[in-house]
Amino acid sequence: MTLAYPRMIAGRGRHEIEIRKSRFICSIARVESDDDARAFVESIRKEFWNASHNCVAWSIGENGRLQRSNDDGEPAGTAGVPMLEVLRKRQLTDTVVVVTRYFGGVMLGAGGLIRAYGSAVSETVQLVGIVERQTLKNVSIRIGHDDAGRFEHSLRGSGFALGDVAYDGAGVTFSLAMDPAIVPGFAAWAADHSSGRGAVVIDGDTFVDVPVQDDGRNRDHTEGRCANDE
Task: Grade residue 215 by pLDDT with cuts at 50, 70 and 90.
Answer: low
CATH number of the domain located at residue range(s) 7-129+214-223 in this protein? 3.30.230.30
Share of the chain above pLDDT 90, in %: 61
Share of the chain above pLDDT 70, in %: 91
Cα–Cα distance between 52 and 97 in angstroms, integer?
Answer: 17
Cα–Cα distance between 11 and 160 in angstroms, integer?
Answer: 29
Structure pTM?
A: 0.76
Among the ranges given (2-6, 11-15, 223-227), the one the predictor scored with the smallest mean pLDDT: 223-227
Task: Grade residue 56 by pLDDT with cuts at 50, 70 and 90.
Answer: very high
Dihedral angle of Cα 208, 91, 121, 117, to the nearest 10 degrees = -160
Cα–Cα distance between 128 and 111 in angstroms, integer?
Answer: 26
Tell me the mean pLDDT in the region 16-42. Answer: 95
Q: Which phi and psi angles does 125 have, rounded to 5°?
A: -60, -45
The domain limits of the chain are: 7-129+214-223, 134-210
Cα–Cα distance between 43 and 39 in angstroms, integer?
Answer: 6
Q: Which phi and psi angles does 19 have, rounded to 5°?
A: -130, 120
pLDDT tens digits, 93-140:
999 999 999 999 888 999 999 999 999 999 999 999 999 988 899 999
> What pLDDT does 120 receive?
97
- What is the CATH architecture of 134-210? 2-Layer Sandwich (3.30)
> What pLDDT does 214 receive?
64
